[in-house]
Structure 1
Amino acid sequence: MKYLIVGLGNIGAEYQHTRHNIGFDVADALVRKHGVTFRSDRLADVAEIKWKGRVLVVIKPTTYMNLSGKAVKYWMDKEKIPLENVLVILDDLALPLEVLRLRPGGSDAGHNGLKSIQESIATNQYPRLRFGIGNDYPKGRQVDYVLGKWSSKEEPLVLQKTDKSVEIIESFASIGLERSMNNYNKLTFPL
């Protein structure tokens, strides 16, 4: 059983640990927990985790967010991973910071990474883990907010949610999407 775990983000030091790069941070936490490391490969940094009879191919696309789909399609094809075994981790402005949501599919909601994936694989029906980042920014400052760093007040919650995201990814790979959604989608993480 092979799974493709995709952490979305942008490459480059200026994007590290920003709200928009939470997918990378969750992928890093997953790989760290399992004691493996990323290597640079075609269109992505890639790590392979062997766990409970499963193989998790974890990628962080090196294409920048708006071309993430190229990396997802390449690694799905290369590793022969079916769509239902793909899980994309991303930041979500539409969800409050206290929330994580596992979903079987849906619209891109203006997220360039999801838009690119949908274009590359010709469907929006693929599992994703949406990491709520809230939308506490003044009108017209969305880009600054999304590309901004977490506040010191938010950091403990972000770390807690990152750890829980790793648990959700493992759950997805072991008991499947539906049961994982039932177990985790009602959780909230108080600030």
Structure 2
Amino acid sequence: MYIVVGLGNPGKKYENTRHNLGFIAIDQLAEALGVRVDRLKFKSLIGEGRIGTEKVILVKPQTYMNLSGDAVREIMDFYKLDPERLIVIYDDFDIPEGHLRIRKSGSAGTHNGMRSVVYQLKSDRFPRIRIGTGGSQKKEDLIRFVVGGFTKEEVPVLEDAVTKAVQAAECIIREDVESAMTKYNTKKQKKPRKKADRPPKPDTSDTAGKEEETHE
């Protein structure tokens, strides 16, 4: 059994914003599984389905982002699951727009929702899927940026990222975290090396250094 949590804020005001990419991913996963995430329980909206042989509970905490851990702790305590059976999907301002970062465990970074989850669970040993939203904004503009709507240019990029995040969650459940990391982590683009100025290579052919023969 797995718990898949998407982080976000409840209410129409935040419905289509960068900070709600976790909710958007859960909605897409629910649609793929043919389930509804509409039961209010554990301070969350939840839905149940199956991925492969595993029972899966989809979760959208209704506590608002900064208290996400309250909802996650309740559901994890109720089912008495190890942290490894939790998958959290969320937006990350520190990752380039549209990129994915999947990790088996690790710190919460700068994301307040994840900080709450780690604090409440007293553990960071659970898989997470981070959807990049960019990183060019100044810190004082951060709140306005993350709760802002998508630009026309962002929509296809983030739609593709959400689709891959959903596929990554399914891959973790059907296979393992390592497989999902290999398949869906965005590869870093290598900068082309500049060719250093070098003297021309000497000609090592048989005729090198010989005078050309002339024939009368």
TM range (shorter): over 0.9
Distance 2:160 2:46 in 1: 24
Return the offset for 1:98: 3.0
Distance 1:3 1:20 in 2: 23
Return the offset for 1:9: 0.3
Distance 1:40 1:121 in 2: 21
Q: Which stretches in structure 2 are left out of the alignment for 5+ residues? A: 189-216
Return the offset for 1:46: 0.3
Alpha carbon RMSD of aligned pairs, Å?
A: 1.4
Q: State percent identity of aligned pairs.
A: 35
Aligned counterpart, 1:25: 24
The structure 1 segments of at least 4 consecutive aligned residues displaced by more than 3 Å after TM superposition are none
1:13 matches 2:8: no
Larger Cα-atom Rg = 2
Return the offset for 1:187: 4.8
Aligned length: 187
Kindly provide the CA deviation profile for residues 16-36 of structure 1, in whole angstroms up to 9, marking residues without a partner as x. 110011000000000011111
Distance 2:83 2:125 in 1: 8
Indicate conservation of the 8 Å contact 1:8/1:61, yes or no.
Answer: yes
TM-score by length of 2: 0.83
Q: Which stretches in structure 1 are left out of the alignment for 5+ residues? A: none
1:143 matches 2:143: yes
Distance 1:171 1:9 in 2: 22
Distance 1:112 1:140 in 2: 16
Indicate conservation of the 8 Å contact 1:100/1:187, yes or no.
Answer: no
Q: Which stretch shifts more, 75-84 or 59-68?
A: 75-84
Q: Higher RCO, 1 or 2 (CA under 8 Å, sep at least 6)?
A: 1
Indicate conservation of the 8 Å contact 2:51/2:174, yes or no.
Answer: no
1:62 matches 2:62: yes
TM-score by length of 1: 0.93
Aligned counterpart, 1:77: 77
Write out aligned runs for 1:34-183 (5 A).
Answer: 34-38=33-37, 39-138=39-138, 140-183=140-183
